[in-house]
Amino acid sequence: MNKTSIKLVGMAAVVAFTMSCKDAQNEVEATAAEAEAQATVEAVTYKVDTAASNIAWVGSKPTADHTGNISLASGMVTVNGETLESGEFTIDMNSIEVTDIEGEGAMKLKNHLSGTVEGTETDFFNVNKYPTAKFVVTGIEGNMLSGNLTLKDVTKNVTFPVTVAYDGDKMMLDSEEFTINRTDWGIKYGSQTFSDKVLDSAIADDIKLTVNLVATK
């Protein structure tokens, strides 16, 4: 192997290592639910602007990634000065949309994720039975936000990196992209971990999420 080849291999190894560390950093470990954070008497309540807020998702299988959005139905946070103390958000699971494809394909995938087609109700989110999901803040330390995420009556605590900023009466909370394992919430359809699916047809257990939230006094 010549020096140029060695140098290229070394660079590739550094890039791969960096990427793997970043992925590991944002890979959320789902743990047992924790006590909800409590606001102090000095805290001010901000109401979530649902039209300006959004949760973006990425789901994967070997042949393609699918992307989409989910809306919030309601939410609030309490802030003391510029310190977020508590919060609670209701997620509208009926709002699931697919953005990487259009037309019939997008509608078919949306219906499958929603479980609105007979025979697919329990595959993913079963929105007729579970029309909402919920996130309740349990703490914030530095730039790491922790909270109880409830999907389909299963509650797990998750922690992920966020940036909080203020502009007058407006608060903006933006997360980095982070990854949850859907099977932690009992969503096992198409998972190679819990079925005899071969890798080429399996659906990834991981779902990537990015939260962008706007709230006002």
Domains and CATH numbers, the chain: 30-216 (2.40.128.110)
Give the pLDDT confidence score for residue 199 in this predicted structure.
54
pTM of the complete model: 0.85
- What is the average pLDDT across 10-22? 36
pLDDT band at 24 (very low <50, low <70, confident <90, very high): very low
- What is the average pLDDT across 105-111? 97
Give the pLDDT confidence score for residue 100 in this predicted structure.
97
Task: Tell the residue number behind the tokens 């042949």, with chain if given.
Answer: 63
Reported for 190-194, long-range contacts at CB under 8 A and 24+ positions apart, including other chains, are 190/61, 190/123
- What is the average pLDDT across 92-121? 97
Please determine, for residue 172, whether its predicted confidence score (pLDDT) is greater than 60. yes
